Amino acid sequence: MDLHSLHDIPHSEERFTGYLKEICETFEFDDAAYAGINPVGGTMHAIVTYNEDWQNHYQENGLHLIDPTLHSAMRSVAPVDWSRLGRNANFRKVFDTARDFGIGEFGMTVPIRGPYGEFGMLSVTRDCDAATWKKLKRNVIADIQPVAAHIHDHVMGSEPLTKFLHHPNLSRREKEILQWIAAGKSQQDIADILCISSRTVEVHLRSARQKLFALTTAQAVGRAIGMSIIYPS
């Protein structure tokens, strides 16, 4: 996820806000926010319980570009506990202002990665002292990832395109050759490697493009990677 994309994210989707509010009540958080992107459908989602003023401020000032909670989550497999982030200039810039809006600096952000490249982040926060946060964190740690996964599934599952996700039936040869293309080999290279004619390579690529509904081979590579049929290399 490119953080620039977050600027274009649509306004909080109210139909899911209830879920986040329920989480806040259940786990005693003040606020929660979910941001998600589905590369296959090219869609983005946001759900936020924060008040309008903070939302506007955050967006207008492009705080997502420097927010260390987001940056860390993007590079992490596990949930990111804000209290473990360095209190550097960016952190201060975000959270000193947040305080004016009643938002504290204790929270956590849970990255969620799905099988088709979907990516989401669930952030939850509570304005409290360190000891309370430590206790709250321990109480919710068991549930936060399943909860995040649940929200993510719900949001992604609300997209028609995801439901339509049809796994194309590439032959083994087609996959193999497309993988070599992704590795930077030319058709002639691949022909030499596989001891076949370059015209045969061309035929397989054409077939693969058709099955992937791709106009070009580069597009086919991209789609196949997006569907985990082949891998970057």
Partner DNA sequence: TTAGCTATTAGGGAAATCCCGTAGTTTTGG
Partner DNA sequence: CCAAAACTACGGGATTTCCCTAATAGCTAA
Q: Which tokens in the block code for residue 44?
A: 């983005």
Member of 21, 93, 134, 175 binding a second copy (CB under 8 A): 175
Nearer to DNA, 12 or 187 (CB): 187
Binding region for DNA (CB under 7 A) out of 2-10, 51-59, 139-147, 172-180:
172-180
Asked if residue 199 binds DNA (CB under 7 A), the reply is yes
Nearer to DNA, 5 or 132 (CB): 5
Asked if residue 187 binds DNA (CB under 7 A), the reply is yes
Member of 40, 70, 103, 108 binding a second copy (CB under 8 A): 40
Select from a second copy, DNA, none the partner in contact with residue 203, using the beta carbon and a kind-dependent cut-off of 5 to 8 Å: DNA
Residue with tokens 């490249």: 117
Asked if 147 contacts 23 with a C-beta cutoff of 8 angstroms, the reply is yes
93/63 Cα distance (integer angstroms):
8
Asked if 51 contacts 100 with a C-beta cutoff of 8 angstroms, the reply is no
Q: Which tokens in the block code for residue 56?
A: 């506007």
Binding region for DNA (CB under 7 A) out of 59-67, 109-117, 150-158, 170-178:
170-178
Nearer to a second copy, 15 or 113 (CB): 113
Asked if residue 122 binds a second copy (CB under 8 A), the reply is no
In one-letter notation, the amino acid at residue 221 is V
Asked if residue 25 binds a second copy (CB under 8 A), the reply is no
Nearer to a second copy, 18 or 146 (CB): 146
Member of 76, 88, 188, 210 binding a second copy (CB under 8 A): 76
Going from the C-alpha of 48 to that of each of 24, 95, 119, 123, 177, the distances in angstroms are 11, 17, 17, 9, 44
- Minimum CB separation of residue 215 from DNA in Å reads 7
How many residues appear in the chain?
Answer: 233
Select from DNA, a second copy, none the partner in contact with residue 65, using the beta carbon and a kind-dependent cut-off of 5 to 8 Å: none
- DSSP per residue, 37-92: EETTTTEEEEEE-S-HHHHHHHHHTTGGGT-HHHHHHHT-SSPEEGGGS---HHHH
